Amino acid sequence: MIFDHFHVIVRYGREVIDRVRVDEANRHRNDPIQRKVIKGSRWLLLRNRDSITRDSDRQRLSDLLKVNHELATVHIMKDYLNQVWDHTDPIAACAWWYQWYRMAIDSGIKPLVHFATNLAVHLEGLIAYTRYRLTTGVLEGMNNKIKVIKRVAYGFRDDEYFFLRIRHAFPGIRR
């Protein structure tokens, strides 16, 4: 199974950060100012720090993370999870992932623990990405290109020519 890493990060943001953010907003139900700050922070929490360009947004995120421990933890863990894609050695990536997993479990934050447990099932695909650098998006694109070749190939007399056309469409990939 090839692992689609973008799907994981989006899912992390949707499931973990949103759940913690909503829980924290509900916890501050009697403090409308604090609740509004938390409720209005979804997109800041989901974005990577590097992609936040406005100083006011950076300051707002910084202030939010200073006053809310659980949101700060899940935000840091999101950034840390992103680092798995930097590894090219499967053994190093696996060791790194187990460290992330242990920190997620030890955090005691229920949505984070639940996500880490679910992600552990996909560890083989996660580690495979470090070796092959293929996502399901790339594979789906290749499959679509093969379907087009197949449609155009209607009427070819032999399979050998059809497979030759496929190999020609993907010159950098060998058996």
**Quick one: pLDDT band at residue 20, thresholds 50, 70, 90?**
very high
Instruction: Examine the domain organization and report whether 31 and 87 are in the same domain.
Output: yes
Instruction: Examine the domain organization and report whether 30 and 73 are in the same domain.
Output: yes
Instruction: Examine the domain organization and report whether 32 and 74 are in the same domain.
Output: yes
Domain membership of residue 164 (yes or no) is: yes
Instruction: Examine the domain organization and report whether 124 and 146 are in the same domain.
Output: no
SS3 sequence of the chain: CCCCHHHHHHHHHHHHHHHHHHHHHHHCCCCHHHHHHHHCCHHHHHCCHHHCCCHHHHHHHHHHHHHCHHHHHHHHHHHHHHHHHHCCCHHHHHHHHHHHHHHHHHHCCHHHHHHHHHHHCCHHHHHHHHHHCCCHHHHHHHHHHHHHHHHHCCCCCCHHHHHHHHHHHCCCCCC
Instruction: Examine the domain organization and report whether 127 and 146 are in the same domain.
Output: no
Instruction: Examine the domain organization and report whether 113 and 145 are in the same domain.
Output: no
Domains of the chain: total: 2
60-72 per-position pLDDT tens digit: 899 888 888 999 9
> What average pLDDT does the chain have?
84
Instruction: Examine the domain organization and report whether 48 and 122 are in the same domain.
Output: yes
Domain membership of residue 154 (yes or no) is: yes
87-138 per-position pLDDT tens digit: 888 899 899 999 999 999 999 999 999 999 988 888 887 788 788 776 677 7
Instruction: Examine the domain organization and report whether 69 and 105 are in the same domain.
Output: yes
Domain membership of residue 175 (yes or no) is: no
Q: Which domain holds residue 20?
A: 5-132
Instruction: Examine the domain organization and report whether 89 and 14 are in the same domain.
Output: yes
Instruction: Examine the domain organization and report whether 81 and 153 are in the same domain.
Output: no
Domain membership of residue 174 (yes or no) is: no
